[in-house]
Amino acid sequence: MSAGTPKSLPSSGQKSIQDISHPLSAEDSVLTPSPDLGNTTSSIGEKDLSLPNGTPVDTSSPASSSSLLNRLQLDDDLDGETRDLFVTVDDPKKHVSTMETYITYRVSTKTSRTEFDLPEYSVRRRYQDFDWLRIKLEESQPTHLIPPLPEKFVMKGVVDRFSEEFVETRRKALDKFLKRVADHPVLSFNEHLNVFLSAKDLNAYKRQGLALLTKMGESVKYVTGGYKLRARPAEFAAMGDYLDVFTQKLGTIDRIAQRIIKEQSEYLVELREYGPVYSGWASSEGDLREPLEGVSGCVASCSTALEELTEDMSEDFLPVLREYVLYIESMKNVLKKRDQVQAEYEAKLEAVAFRKEERTGVSAVPTDVEKCQDRVECFNADLKADWDRWQNNKRQDFRQLLTGMADKNIQYYEKCLAAWESIIPLLQEKQDAKTDTN
């Protein structure tokens, strides 16, 4: 950037508040296919942010990079972009020691990237390791939206954090978190992710602090105080309004879903008491024994179907809502960081203009003002790219979530209908036998 008259604040873009669609509106409808925005990249995403990993790790099944790439290309994304980094979180195991009890998960990686020393890795990580990775990503990539992790703590007495259901729900959330990071065009090249996926002993890196790698974020550090933003640009103000409305809608859906689950659970208790009544009645009847036992069997089948439906809502539906509530908080934090950088830039511009009035002949723009403008432009570009990516993920997730919920409800009613239809022939036989007797 050459010296000259101070530049005005970077343009907030061409979008207006009307261009930011309302949450769950027709534009984001789960029934309407949306264009894939996953390959949108920011200006910083075009730079080579990768660093070689100097810590080789033994693996049980190494493979050549060329043959691995051929296999990976068979699983391209729908937009035609070849993925070269695949991660999976599975195989949770419980560890009990004298000091603590915790769960670890197997993190498997397959890649053809040259930044990795081997094409395949398999390491074990616990929740606090995932938390460490997310903190490091936030520190080194402050201009980007970091996917959220599931909450660390649960309310006592509500759920057992070592139960099979809770561990599986957390495993799915950790797997989604890591996949989102691995699919990001910038975050996936972060050296902290490389270490997380490949290092055999992650604690050694935690103790060292990776001081060298912290320099990656120096060019995009933001100021935490001393500056006040006059007005957020229209495009980013629209983003904030969208997030507020989306939060309200998710809160309403979550409250209704919780109430439905509660009512289904209460109904399930009554059904389980209702069926045995018919069984007991059938034992004291003659001609009605078979029909009564049939009704008891139908009630038992409906109870099983309702239990499955309730579990699906608790284990599949609610976690997605909670994830996006956390996603919204992450997005709001990134917006605040962007505002702080812009406020610093505006303050520096005002200071330059004030000095020009006091001293004539001052025309050069200070270097720190130019650097601050670069940070604003970088922040704006990265945030808009991540916003598009987040909107695309949201459409896909809610399309899958709502169609899955519809399918589960259809299956529930089909099972109940089939159960009750199964005793109709039995009742008709009794009616025909009574007619013949008369």
Average pLDDT over residues 242-246: 96
Among 326, 337, 345, 301, CA closest to 390: 326
* Alpha-carbon span 418 to 227, nearest angstrom: 67
* Alpha-carbon span 111 to 73, nearest angstrom: 11
- pLDDT at residue 61, rounded to an integer: 38
Average pLDDT over residues 200-207: 85
* Alpha-carbon span 411 to 181, nearest angstrom: 34
* Alpha-carbon span 136 to 209, nearest angstrom: 10
- pLDDT at residue 154, rounded to an integer: 53
Average pLDDT over residues 181-205: 92
Q: 369 versus 402: which is more confidently predicted? A: 402
Average pLDDT, the chain: 78
* Phi and psi torsions of 153, nearest 5°: -110, 150
- For the chain, the domains span 53-210, 240-438
Neighbour count for residue 410 (Cβ, 10 Å):
10
Element (H, E) at 126: strand 120-126
Q: Is the pLDDT of residue 105 over 90?
A: yes
Neighbour count for residue 190 (Cβ, 10 Å):
23
* Alpha-carbon span 250 to 158, nearest angstrom: 22
DSSP structure class, residue 317: I
Q: Is the pLDDT of residue 187 over 70?
A: yes
Strand partners, 87: 109
Q: Is the pLDDT of residue 163 over 90?
A: no
Say yes or no: domain 53-210 is CATH 3.40.1080.10. no
Token duo for residue 283: 């034992």
Q: Which of 58-72, 130-144, 407-421 has the lowest mean pLDDT?
A: 58-72
- pLDDT at residue 425, rounded to an integer: 85
- Over pLDDT 70: what percentage of the chain? 71
Q: Is the pLDDT of residue 158 over 60?
A: no
Q: If phi over 0 gives left and psi between -120 and 50 gives alpha, with beta otherwise, what is residue 263? A: alpha
Cα dihedral 12, 13, 14, 16, rounded to 10, equals -50
- CATH (one of 1.10.760.10, 3.40.50.2300, 3.40.50.300, 1.20.1270.60) for 240-438: 1.20.1270.60
In our burial notation (b when 16+ CB lie closer than 10 A, e otherwise), range 247-280 reads: beebeeebeebeeebeebeeebeebeebbeebee
Average pLDDT over residues 192-219: 72
- Over pLDDT 90: what percentage of the chain? 51
**pLDDT tens per residue, range 404-430:** 999 999 999 999 999 999 888 877 776
- pLDDT at residue 259, rounded to an integer: 95
Among 81, 258, 89, CA closest to 177: 89
Q: Which of 6-20, 35-49, 292-306 has the lowest mean pLDDT?
A: 35-49
- pLDDT at residue 118, rounded to an integer: 93
Sequence letter at residue 300:
A
Q: Which of 16-25, 168-177, 259-268 has the lowest mean pLDDT?
A: 16-25
DSSP structure class, residue 108: E
Residue with tokens 């520190």: 139
Token duo for residue 312: 């699906």
Element (H, E) at 350: helix 318-358
End-to-end C-alpha distance for the chain, whole angstroms: 104
- pLDDT at residue 430, rounded to an integer: 62
DSSP structure class, residue 314: I
pLDDT confidence bin for 66, thresholds 50/70/90: very low
Question: Among 12-16, 343-347, 393-397, which range has the highest average pLDDT?
Answer: 393-397
**pLDDT tens per residue, range 69-97:** 344 443 444 444 568 899 999 999 999 88
Q: Which of 102-116, 142-156, 381-395 has the lowest mean pLDDT?
A: 142-156
pLDDT confidence bin for 149, thresholds 50/70/90: very high
Please spell the DSSP secondary structure of 415-435, one letter per residue.
Answer: HHHHHHHHTHHHHHHHHHHHH
* Phi and psi torsions of 130, nearest 5°: -65, -40
CB 85 within 8 A of CB 105: no
pLDDT confidence bin for 203, thresholds 50/70/90: confident
pLDDT confidence bin for 164, thresholds 50/70/90: confident
Q: 230 versus 235: which is more confidently predicted? A: 235
Q: Is the pLDDT of residue 156 over 70?
A: no
pLDDT confidence bin for 368, thresholds 50/70/90: confident
* Alpha-carbon span 77 to 85, nearest angstrom: 12
Sequence letter at residue 299:
V
Neighbour count for residue 114 (Cβ, 10 Å):
10
* Alpha-carbon span 54 to 88, nearest angstrom: 23
* Alpha-carbon span 176 to 182, nearest angstrom: 10
pLDDT confidence bin for 108, thresholds 50/70/90: very high
Alpha helices, DSSP H only, in 44-126? Answer: 65-72
Q: Is the pLDDT of residue 15 over 80?
A: no
Q: 75 versus 146: which is more confidently predicted? A: 146
- pLDDT at residue 284, rounded to an integer: 84
- For residue 52, give every residue at least 6 positions away whose Cβ sits within 8 Å of its Cβ, in sequence order, or none: 115
Q: 334 versus 204: which is more confidently predicted? A: 334
Q: Is the pLDDT of residue 383 over 70?
A: yes
Average pLDDT over residues 202-227: 57
CB 27 within 8 A of CB 242: no
- pLDDT at residue 315, rounded to an integer: 87
